[in-house]
Structure 1
Amino acid sequence: MRILLVEDNTALADGLVAILRGSGYAVDVVRDGASADAVIATETFDLVILDLTLPEMDGLDVLRSMRARQNKAAVLILTARGTPEERIRGLDRGADDYMIKPFDIGEFEARVRVLLRRQAGLRSSLSSYGNVTFDLTSRTFSAQGTPIDIPARELGLLEILFLRAGKVVAKDAIMQSLTAFDDDLSANAIEQYVSRLRKRLSPHGLTVRTARGIGYYLDKSADGA
């Protein structure tokens, strides 16, 4: 899943990026409101973590512009502006959650997980398809209780396909979800990850099918049907 962090405090931004990437998310960071507004208008994110007091454009204006374009990415406001009036204004303009600085890192991570779970349409952190279960909290896969060892990039791809099981996911959408601005990921690399995933999933009754010219989708294999 892909996250945009909008934060002008360099030390805080670097720390949060390290935490989020350590959890396996693709993370981009911008440090002013105008850049955030431009990026959100052209890129796809599952979650935007948004400071309010920003150079060039206030965070509330970024949020208003985003929702006016019908952008449905989840938004977590993370700010020192903590009066009841500010919180109400942020939520009324379309934020999904609101945290006040300083904050507890564990609570921050939990709120990120909750928002991403809601974006995926899950009520629980556990999701199952066929014999395979995905734990969104730990970002691990298992088959009938036995962990499936999957390298990071392949895990990210499987996560995208698993949360949309049975539905075609376009190649462009996969590449956007897996990569941040400074990452380099080719269509050929995606094909290699798909091939490896097929081998890993085959013993568990799942496979990744190709929708020619469009993308890929997760399906139950003949043996696992």
Structure 2
Amino acid sequence: MYANRWGALADFLEHLEREGFPLDEGTAAIVDLDKTAFGARGRNSHVVDSARVAAVRRTVEEALGDAFAEEAFQSVYDELNRPLYHHFTADNQDYLAYICLMVAGGVYGFSELLEDLKARRLRSFADFIEACNRRGVPKELAPIHREVYVGFKRDDPTPFKSFRHREYEETVKRMDHLPDEVGEKRLLAEEIVLTREVVDLCRFLKGNGVLLFGLTDKPDEASLPSPELARAGFLPLHRVSMKIIGVHLAL
């Protein structure tokens, strides 16, 4: 069953009941967290995306210092963060963040990169990181290059862990930070909020004894606080307080 409205979750539940699908202690439900339980796709997901972009920007800016040019960085990120380049980035934000850093740091020129992709002299991220390794990187970028290169060689799907830690921080920063009275429009524009329709469905299912699981495709480093932040009281994303916005389901 497919839908493009969150309110259609009530129709989904009616469909299950018509089909005689048991909704009790013998049933488990898996709920996607990112852009479903919170940061609803099409309503609030842009704030989730903004946290990731801010993490990439912070990573590049902290590495380059005064040499950081935000407008040039944004051009690189916006161009490469498209399905057209998924064969190169593998739709992996760790890879994209590293590519942006190497381009912004002058290791690989942006126009050269686009030309090499077009001519298929670069076919994958593996080609790119090996090219950067052969060329050598400035000393201020060397620690990050080593981190990503070693992780990539180990087949770690999230080799840029320092970037992912920043993504966690930027995500938490966008949760429940505005006063309640600012209004729904601003909250949806600036905060990551829980999706009322999903919350209502989950409460209904839980009330019937259904076992609920929440899953995310975010790596641990972007979902859980570092040990230092945990000691300071920071929580996993699914434990952070968030406001609830949406339309109540009549269940």
Please say whether Structure 1 and Structure 2 have the same fold, judged by a TM-score greater than 0.5.
no
Choose 1 or 2 for highest CA Rg: 2
TM-score, scaled relative to structure 2: 0.27
Bigger helix fraction: 2
